[in-house]
């Protein structure tokens, strides 16, 4: 019997090969191996022994490669072995010339074999084997020519071979229809068990199933892509014929080059064809791991699957779900030596995903007056004054706007609704709230929307996943024998309520040991009641952010044990979220199956000065105007005295870098001076003159005045108007936008002000201007506002003609002529007028319309409640040159995690690293051996990884990027170029960072390994010094060499999977601490888990303490003026907690720095 050898580098084809071999068992012997069967050249050698054995009548061998000859271990030796044995070889590898060169059969045979392989499927594999047996064997083996199989089509297990029209004719028109998208290769190789399971689940949930296969990114003459499928089979006369889509396609369907090499900044195509379809697309995940490996993993979906099946599909606006199948090894029924792995359905997860899809689809079928909607407001802390807390949002007013919109769409609101946010709060607080301090027990039932009995809750509890039940019992005990009160107000079919508390306040001791605290029974009762008793058809979690998405469970790709999955279950979740917090918003998308509708940031404006600071500014300006370079006149001496007294009273000496003065004269001492006040007597130290003091005052006050601050809160669908609109547009164009000049720089240029000196030397007096740059900055800002105000009076309209544009001393926008004189004797910068025209036109055509489009935020939320597709959009800080991120009202996406840090982030991060290292060297006289850095997920998204770039730059390591912008490797920067030692870095990353950017942690891990192996002395390489020293210490303590080294290499720390936060703020909130050591203990307990390569997390509390003990400085980058350290307790929890923990374990306080990259072109420390 002739024997044919086959090696395949992938396992996709093995199912077809198995079926073909089984059908030929009596005629042809087949010896098969796949990549998973050959771990090294030794395995390849054993395979070759079988396919070159003359006793088995070996007649031919096929190498079916993927990605080049490296996909077969020992490839060259294998080719030589087959040649020596005289066995014909066919090498198949897409587009590689070596495949043809190493193929030993004639061109006709080779091309025929290629055609069989390219067309695939059981029938073609069968005929390929018969063709080879006929060609090289001694007997006759009839065969058929290659058959072209469909590359796109419909499939149904009960209707094999049915056409699209035939399958549609079987649908029940009274049921919603859900399409299932899957890969053509799965259909070709009959890898469809998981599709069959989805079909059954949909039909069990009273929906029509329309499975469609194709190659989603291939658009050629003989193959159609997902866009063609959508336009041809899912849309009829402009209307969708389906109500939802379940898609397991990886990558993005809308990104540049179909998602395979998106730009460095992760931009997507402008037109998303899914918008034409207009129905929700739910992203399911076909994981490459087995079910058991997935379940045993704490992370869920990580690595390349996180990028390809989660992050990239988010660019299309997909609702992210979880794995629905795992790769399982089948039996080698045909006895060919290799068994296929195929996608085996996870039936419970398929049931969940299909129920979620059907519930989204039902929103398109239900009449609005029948829909029941729960609007959940956040309530942290859980007191009445915390109802409706949402970052940057007036959530009560936004809720009223939503209720008004729903009323216009004929939702049943019971004939009543509040007329203002205050009225809503008054109604809520008149009922039962989470703040039950003033509620008598007898009044609870009357003040509640409903009360869940203990028996009913116990029944609901037992209906949840067994593992989740066990977790709740372990954390909180058995279901309590008491009722559960539900707060809120019902406006007809719309409930406005508040999310229950997380649980830390219920048992304060848990703060010291549980970062992954399970939700209490009250939490489960609330969400079960929403679904079962209130019978919500959808839920709106209004504002940034609640706690549902931060509950324990898998980080991405939740299973039934994950708390969030059990709580929100299959309830469509619409989540309005602020546009500049994409990291945490993505957490809501991935861990509560949310469709985000983003909302605008509050208006940003220059802070200005007031009261005592304003008076100090006036005194400094009077002194400057008097031209005082010494203190000879009485007026001058009086001004100097007043200035010194004001600096003393305001305690600004440290802020100004000054510690004393010599006497009533003009000189003021620098940092080495003794004495504590400027008004003190003679001291010693470096002399700083009164002129220098005044200059520093100007610099300090300019920094305060030009700081961007929020002006109140945003209300959804109420874009800023009048003065607020002007301030916002000035803030949006203050920095350069892509391809558009900075308004501030352009105005400065027209006024004749040196922009770099304006930013960096505000206290310096310019003779040509006749004023300080600080005073010029005020004029630049006022002029900018005046210009935008003038545009606003004309409704930002620009006539078609631009012929009258002023050439030199005026700016003509064809709707106005603005005369702008230079300041003093200064001259306008070359090209400044052109730049100003360009940015003003940009304001009219782009910025203003995009801001105005925020009025769609509430309608888009209501559209989602109607089962509509929420169009995707970018995310980040609009005032950081991000006008193109607008308009809001979209389902934002983030970035490809494999591209962190991006090249743009490397430039800024390296600058921050240099600034921190040099400042510490200047202040302490030496470079720090180790620095501690805080890295969060959301800033990583906004900046594309500036903090990670900073970590690498401090270590003296540079990322290496592929042409597609992905990190491929790291390379050490030569010490001669670095011009300082390599600084060790311990990074405390947030739980969100751990979930979203495991690849970035791997890059840091690779960097540590790289620098430790360098042939450098310890005084030039502090990472090497610490790793080698600590490895030796661990070995001396009895640890084996491998464990000692890996422990000493830990540099990235986080919370345990499923846990989030730093813990210190929880201890402070609950008043559960006595001294600094308590807070340090919480910080270490929560953050003592090492995040290693490939997202692996291990308990490493002792290693974390070791790292903390050697940290000399801490750093956190602040990348946007839209947020700051007073916005949330997270800032002091992470950075403050880091400082506290270092102080405790290092026995001294570290230096602490903040890197300001809010203007990437003007980074400061």
Q: Could you tell me the residue ranges of all domains in the chain?
A: 3-136, 153-362, 369-542+568-599, 608-705, 715-855, 897-1156
Most confident range (mean pLDDT) of 44-53, 528-537, 635-644, 662-671 is 528-537
CA angle 815, 816, 822 (to 5 degrees): 145
pLDDT digits (tens, 9 = 90+) for 353-380: 999 999 999 999 999 999 999 999 998 8
Judged against a pLDDT cut of 90, whether residue 800 lies above it is answered with: no
Pairwise CA distance, residues 475 & 1158, whole Å = 42
Banded pLDDT at 1122 (limits 50, 70, 90) = low
Report the alpha-carbon distance of residue 853 to residue 579 in Å, rounded: 14
The more confidently predicted of residues 141 and 445 is 141
Q: What are phi and psi of 489, to 5 degrees?
A: -135, 135
- Strands ordered across the beta sheet of 281-286: 153-154, 208-214, 177-183, 244-247, 281-286, 319-329, 341-345
Question: What average pLDDT does range 846-873 have in this prediction?
Answer: 97
Instruction: Judge whether 548 and 567 are in contact, CB under 8 Å.
Output: yes
pLDDT tens, position by position, 199-213: 999 999 999 999 999
pTM as predicted = 0.85
Q: Which long-range contacts (CB under 8 A, 24 or more apart) does 228-233 make?
A: 228/152, 229/152, 229/181, 230/273, 230/274, 230/276, 230/277, 231/273, 231/276, 233/154, 233/164
> According to the model, what pLDDT value does residue 5 have?
94
Q: Calculate mean pLDDT across residues 868-897.
A: 91
Which range, of 245-254, 333-342, 645-654, averages the lowest pLDDT? 645-654
Lowest mean pLDDT across 151-155, 349-353, 653-657, 876-880: 653-657
Confidence band for 266, pLDDT divided at 50, 70 and 90: very low
Give residue 900's pLDDT: 87
* The pLDDT of residue 274 is above 80: yes
The pLDDT score that the predictor gives to residue 310 is 93
Backbone angles phi and psi of 1097, in degrees to 5: -115, 130
pLDDT of residue 661: 45
Helix (H, G, I), strand (E, B) or coil at 831: coil
More confident residue, 507 or 1065: 1065
pLDDT on residue 763: 83
916: nearest Cα among 658, 615, 1153, 654: 1153
The string of pLDDT tens digits covering residues 477-505 is: 999 999 999 999 999 999 999 999 887 56
Q: Check whether 646 has a pLDDT greater than 50.
A: yes
Average pLDDT, integer, range 216-221: 76
The pLDDT of 216-233, averaged and rounded, is: 87
The pLDDT value given to residue 668:
41
pLDDT of 599 higher than 60: yes
What pLDDT is stored for residue 354 in this prediction? Answer: 99
Q: Say yes or no: do domains 3-136 and 153-362 share a fold.
A: yes
pLDDT above 70 (res 262): no
Residue 629: pLDDT band (50, 70, 90) is very low
Q: How many other C-beta atoms can be found within 10 angstroms of the C-beta atom of residue 712?
A: 11
Indicate if the alpha-carbon torsion angle 605, 611, 616, 619 is positive or negative: positive
C-alpha angle 514-515-517 in degrees, rounded to nearest 5 = 65
Tokens of 941: 């998204």
d(CA 1139, CA 891): 37
**What CATH architecture applies to the domain 3-136?**
3-Layer(aba) Sandwich (3.40)
Q: Which pLDDT value is given to residue 17?
A: 93
In this model, does residue 631 exceed pLDDT 60? no
Rg (CA), the chain: 33
pLDDT band at residue 635, thresholds of 50, 70 and 90?
low
Q: How far apart are CA 229 and CA 215, in angstroms?
A: 10
Residue 887: pLDDT band (50, 70, 90) is: very high
Categorize the per-residue pLDDT at 682 as very low, low, confident or very high, splitting at 50, 70 and 90.
Answer: very low
CA gap 1129, 1134 in Å, rounded: 9
Positive or negative: CA dihedral 33, 35, 37, 38: positive
Which SS3 state, helix, strand or coil, does residue 154 take?
Answer: strand
> Residue 999 — pLDDT band, cuts 50, 70, 90?
confident
How high is the pLDDT of residue 670? 39
Q: In this predicted model, what pLDDT tens digit does every residue of 657-669 receive, in sequence order?
A: 765 443 344 444 3
pLDDT of residue 265: 41
Q: Which CATH class is domain 153-362?
A: alpha beta
Q: Give the closest residue to 743 by CA, choosing from 732, 753, 754.
A: 732
Question: What would the DSSP string read from start to end of 62-95?
Answer: EEE-SSSGGGSTTHHHHHHHHHHHT--EEEE-TT
Q: What is the model's pLDDT at position 1033?
A: 94
Mean pLDDT of 317-339: 93
Greater confidence (479 vs 761) lies with 479
With 60 as the cut, is the pLDDT of residue 674 above it?
no
DSSP state of 55: G
Mean pLDDT of 874-895: 91
* More confident of the two residues 302 and 866: 866
Shortest CA distance to 32 belongs to which of 42, 41, 40, 19?
A: 19
Mean pLDDT of all residues belonging to the chain: 87
Q: Residue 604 to residues 37, 360, 714, 858: CA-CA distances in angstroms?
A: 60, 37, 11, 22
Q: Tell me the pLDDT band of 264, cut-offs 50, 70 and 90.
A: very low
pLDDT of the residue at 910: 93
Q: Starting at the earlier edge strand, list the strands of the sheet with 594-599.
A: 489-491, 494-498, 373-377, 538-542, 573-578, 594-599
Contact partners, residue 54, CB within 8 Å, separation at least 6: none
In which band, very low, low, confident or very high, does the pLDDT at 819 lie, cut at 50, 70 and 90? low
Give the span between the Cα atoms of 373 and 411, in whole angstroms: 9
> Which has the minimum average pLDDT: 64-78, 253-267, 329-343?
253-267
Per cent of the chain over pLDDT 90 is 57
Choice among 13-27, 754-768, 1112-1126 with the minimum mean pLDDT: 1112-1126
| In the predicted structure, residue 531 carries a pLDDT above the cut 90 | yes
Name the band, by pLDDT with cuts 50, 70 and 90, for residue 818: low
- Specify the pLDDT at position 628: 43
Q: Which residue has the higher pLDDT, 386 or 349?
A: 349
Q: Is the dihedral of CA 557, 562, 566, 571 positive or negative?
A: negative
**Across 2-16, 562-576, 1045-1059, which has the greatest mean pLDDT?**
562-576
| Res. 514 pLDDT band, cuts 50 70 90 | low
What are 1051-1067's pLDDT values in tens digits? Answer: 999 988 878 888 787 77
Question: Contact 610/717 with Cβ under 8 angstroms?
Answer: no
Q: Is the pLDDT of residue 831 over 90?
A: no
Which alpha helices (H) appear in 800-936, and where do they start and end?
A: 832-842, 848-852, 857-865, 903-924
């Amino acid at each position: 019997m002739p024997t044919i050898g086959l090696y395949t580098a992938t396992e996709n084809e093995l199912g077809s090969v198995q079926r073909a071999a089984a059908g030929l068992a009596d005629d042809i012997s087949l010896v098969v191996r796949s990549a998973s069967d050959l771990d090294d050249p030794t395995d390849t050698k054993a395979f070759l022994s079988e396919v070159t054995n003359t006793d088995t009548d070996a007649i031919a061998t096929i190498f079916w490669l993927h990605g080049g000859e490296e996909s077969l271990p020992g490839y060259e030796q294998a080719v030589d072995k087959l040649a020596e044995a005289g066995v014909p070889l066919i090498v198949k590898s897409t587009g590689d010339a070596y495949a043809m060169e190493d193929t030993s059969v004639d061109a006709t045979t080779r091309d025929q074999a290629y055609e069989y392989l390219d067309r695939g499927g059981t029938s073609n594999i069968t005929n390929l084997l018969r063709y080879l047996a006929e060609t090289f064997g001694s007997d006759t083996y009839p065969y058929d020519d290659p058959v072209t199989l469909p590359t796109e089509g419909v499939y149904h297990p009960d209707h094999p071979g049915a056409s699209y029209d035939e399958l549609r004719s079987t649908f029940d028109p009274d049921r919603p229809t859900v399409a299932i998208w899957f890969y053509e290769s799965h259909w070709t190789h009959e890898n469809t068990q998981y599709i069959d399971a989805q079909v059954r689940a949909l039909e069990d949930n009273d929906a029509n199933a329309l499975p469609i296969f194709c190659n989603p990114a291939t658009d050629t003459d003989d193959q159609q892509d997902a866009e063609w499928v959508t336009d041809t089979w899912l849309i009829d006369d402009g209307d969708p014929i389906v109500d939802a889509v379940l898609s397991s396609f990886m990558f993005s369907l809308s990104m540049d080059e179909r998602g395979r090499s998106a730009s460095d900044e992760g931009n997507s195509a402008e037109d998303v064809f899914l918008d034409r379809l207009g129905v929700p697309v739910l992203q399911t995940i076909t994981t490459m791991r087995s079910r058991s490996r997935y379940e045993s993993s704490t992370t869920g979906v990580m690595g390349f699957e996180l990028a390809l099946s989660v992050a990239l599909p988010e660019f299309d606006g997909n609702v992210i779900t979880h794995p629905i199948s795992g790769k399982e090894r089948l039996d080698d029924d045909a006895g060919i030596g290799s068994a296929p792995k195929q996608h085996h359905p996870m039936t419970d997860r398929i049931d969940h995903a299909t129920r979620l899809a059907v519930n989204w689809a039902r929103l398109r079928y239900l009449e609005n007056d029948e829909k029941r909607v729960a609007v959940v407001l956040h309530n942290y802390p859980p007191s009445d004054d915390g109802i409706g807390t949402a970052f940057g949002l007036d959530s009560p007013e936004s809720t009223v706007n939503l209720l008004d919109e729903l009323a216009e769409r004929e939702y049943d609101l019971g004939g009543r609704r509040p007329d203002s946010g205050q009225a809503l709060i008054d109604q809520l607080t008149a009922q039962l709230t989470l703040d039950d301090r003033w509620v008598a027990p007898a009044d609870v039932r009357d003040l509640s929307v409903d009360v869940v009995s203990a028996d009913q809750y116990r029944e609901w509890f037992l209906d949840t996943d067994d593992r989740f039940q066990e977790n709740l019992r372990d954390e909180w005990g058995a279901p309590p024998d008491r009722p559960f009160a539900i707060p809120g107000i019902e406006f007809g079919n719309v409930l406005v309520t508040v999310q229950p508390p997380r649980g830390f306040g219920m048992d304060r001791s848990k703060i010291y040991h549980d970062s992954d605290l399970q939700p209490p029974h009250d939490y489960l009762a609330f969400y079960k009641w929403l679904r079962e008793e209130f019978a919500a058809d959808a839920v709106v979690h209004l504002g940034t952010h609640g706690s549902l998405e931060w509950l324990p469970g898998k980080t991405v790709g939740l299973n039934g044990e994950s708390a969030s999955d059990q709580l929100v279950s299959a309830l469509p979740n619409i989540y309005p979220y602020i546009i500049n917090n994409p990291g945490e918003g993505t957490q809501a998308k991935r861990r509560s199956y949310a469709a985000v509708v983003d909302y605008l940031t509050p208006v940003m404006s220059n802070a200005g000065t007031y009261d005592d600071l304003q008076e100090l500014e006036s005194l400094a300006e009077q002194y400057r105007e008097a031209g005082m370079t010494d203190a000879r006149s009485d007026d001058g001496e009086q001004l100097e005295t007043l200035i010194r007294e004001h600096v003393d009273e305001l305690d600004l000496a440290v802020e100004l870098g000054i510690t004393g003065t010599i006497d009533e004269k003009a000189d003021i001492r620098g940092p080495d001076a003794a004495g504590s006040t400027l008004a003190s007597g003679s001291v010693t130290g470096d002399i700083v003159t009164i002129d220098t003091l005044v200059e520093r005052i100007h610099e300090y006050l300019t920094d305060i005045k030009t700081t961007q601050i929020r002006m109140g809160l945003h209300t959804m669908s109420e874009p800023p108007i009048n003065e607020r609109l002007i301030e916002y547009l000035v803030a949006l164009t203050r920095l350069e936008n892509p391809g558009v000049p900075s308004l501030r720089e352009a105005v400065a240029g027209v006024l004749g002000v040196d922009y770099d000196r304006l930013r960096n030397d505000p206290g310096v007096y310019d003779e040509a201007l006749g004023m300080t740059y600080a005073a010029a900055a005020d004029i630049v800002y006022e002029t900018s506002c005046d210009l935008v105000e003038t545009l606003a009076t004309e409704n930002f309209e620009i006539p078609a003609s631009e012929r009258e544009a002023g050439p030199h001393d005026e700016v003509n926008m064809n709707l106005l002529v603005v005369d702008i004189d230079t300041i003093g004797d200064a001259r306008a910068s070359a090209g400044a007028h052109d730049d100003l025209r360009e940015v003003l036109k940009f304001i009219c055509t782009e910025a203003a319309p995009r801001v105005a489009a925020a009025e769609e935020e509430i309608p888009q939320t209501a559209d989602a409640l109607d089962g509509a597709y929420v169009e995707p959009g970018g995310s980040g800080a609009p005032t950081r040159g991000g006008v193109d991120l607008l308009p809001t009202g979209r389902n934002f996406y983030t970035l490809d995690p494999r591209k962190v840090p991006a090249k743009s982030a490397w430039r800024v991060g390296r600058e921050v690293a240099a600034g921190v290292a040099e400042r510490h060297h200047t202040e302490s006289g030496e470079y720090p051996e180790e620095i501690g850095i805080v890295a969060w997920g959301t800033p990583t998204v906004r900046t594309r990884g500036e903090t990670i770039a900073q970590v690498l730059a401090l270590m003296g390591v540079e990322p290496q990027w592929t042409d597609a912008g992905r990190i491929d490797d790291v390379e050490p920067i030569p010490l001669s170029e670095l011009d300082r030692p390599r600084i060790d870095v311990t990074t405390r990353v947030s739980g969100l960072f751990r979930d979203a950017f495991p690849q970035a942690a791997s890059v840091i891990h690779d960097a540590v390994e790289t620098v430790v192996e360098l042939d450098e002395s310890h005084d030039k390489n502090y990472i090497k010094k610490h790793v080698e020293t600590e490895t030796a210490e661990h070995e001396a303590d009895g640890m084996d060499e491998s464990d000692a080294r890996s422990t000493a290499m830990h540099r990235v720390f986080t919370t345990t999977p499923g846990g989030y936060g730093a813990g210190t703020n929880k201890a402070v909130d609950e008043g559960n601490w006595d001294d600094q050591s308590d807070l340090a203990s919480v910080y270490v307990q929560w953050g003592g888990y090492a995040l290693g390569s490939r997202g692996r997390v291990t308990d490493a509390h002792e290693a974390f303490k070791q790292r903390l003990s050697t940290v000399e400085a801490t750093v956190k980058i602040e990348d946007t003026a839209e947020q700051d350290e007073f916005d949330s307790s997270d800032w002091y929890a992470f950075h403050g907690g880091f400082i506290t923990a270092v102080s405790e374990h290092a026995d001294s306080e570290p230096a602490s720095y903040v890197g300001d990259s809010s203007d990437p072109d003007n980074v400061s420390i």
